[in-house]
Amino acid sequence: MTELINGRTVLTTPFSDADIRALHAGDVIFINGDVITGRDDVHIRVTGEGMDLPVEIRGKALMHAGPIVTGSAGSGYEMISIGPTTSMRMERFEYDFIKKTGVRLIIGKGCMGARTAEACSEFGAVHCVLPAGNAVVAALCAEKITGVEWLDLGMPEALWNIRVKELGPLIVSIDTNGKNLFDEKKKDYAVRKEDQLQKISKQMGSILE
């Protein structure tokens, strides 16, 4: 479900195909509902070792994140700090992961590549960037930790199930039309980089004189 709340575009899980396909790279959104965390080890288990996710995330959100959590299963868990980790590390697994799990929205940091973009158009998913390093702001959006699986992987790698309220701003970086915000930025950066290297090369000469 997509709503406009106080000028913010807010999507609530479960996301429909139409909710997701209406998003464009560069859009800024917030989300409500169910998010699970999953990073390197979770992806390796699901795509490499063929294990099934112990929770259903079809139509929901996956966050590339390893939080700091206190408490225990008995006393209840508290989210202290959470923020996105480098999404690119998951690039090699993400096509298969999206295909197998039906996840619709991936939250991470920085860019992802062509295979993820393919999966996004094929299965109706988006990748979004949550500005990283803002782990307390994000932790306060996590209303409740509803469960944890695969804690044997260690606190950062485990599958934390979280209920979030207006988590964001999420900047859509890959949309369902295959548009990848970072690819465009990277092209600009590459051109400017070469210009700057030429300038540096000229000026270093006079610095060293």
User: Do the beta carbons of residue 137 and residue 114 sit within 8 Å?
Assistant: no
Cβ neighbours, 10 Å, residue 92: 15
Q: Which member of 22, 55, 88, 132 binds ligand SF4 (CB under 6 A)? A: 132
User: What is the spatial distance between Cα 65 and Cα 128, in angstroms, rounded to a whole number?
Assistant: 13
Stretch of 1-9, 16-24, 98-106, 151-159 contacting another protein, by CB under 8 A = 151-159
Alpha helices in 104-154 (DSSP H): 114-123, 135-141
The residue among 10 and 111 lying less far from ligand SF4, judged by its C-beta, is 111
55 binds, among ligand SF4, another protein, none (CB under 5 to 8 A by kind): none
- Which residue's Cβ has the minimum distance to ligand SF4? 133
Q: In this structure, what token pair is assigned to residue 99?
A: 């295909």
Annotated active-site residue 43? The verdict is yes
- Minimum distance of another protein from residue 100's CB (angstroms): 24
User: What is the spatial distance between Cα 102 and Cα 122, in angstroms, rounded to a whole number?
Assistant: 11
Binding mask 14-53 for another protein (x = CB under 8 A): --------------x-------------------------
Q: Which member of 87, 101, 161, 180 binds another protein (CB under 8 A)? A: 87
Q: Which are the contacts of 100, defined by CB distance < 8 A and separation ≥ 6?
A: 46, 47
Range 59-118, binding ligand SF4 (CB under 6 A): 83
User: Do the beta carbons of residue 58 and residue 34 sit within 8 Å?
Assistant: no
- Name the residues annotated as catalytic: 43
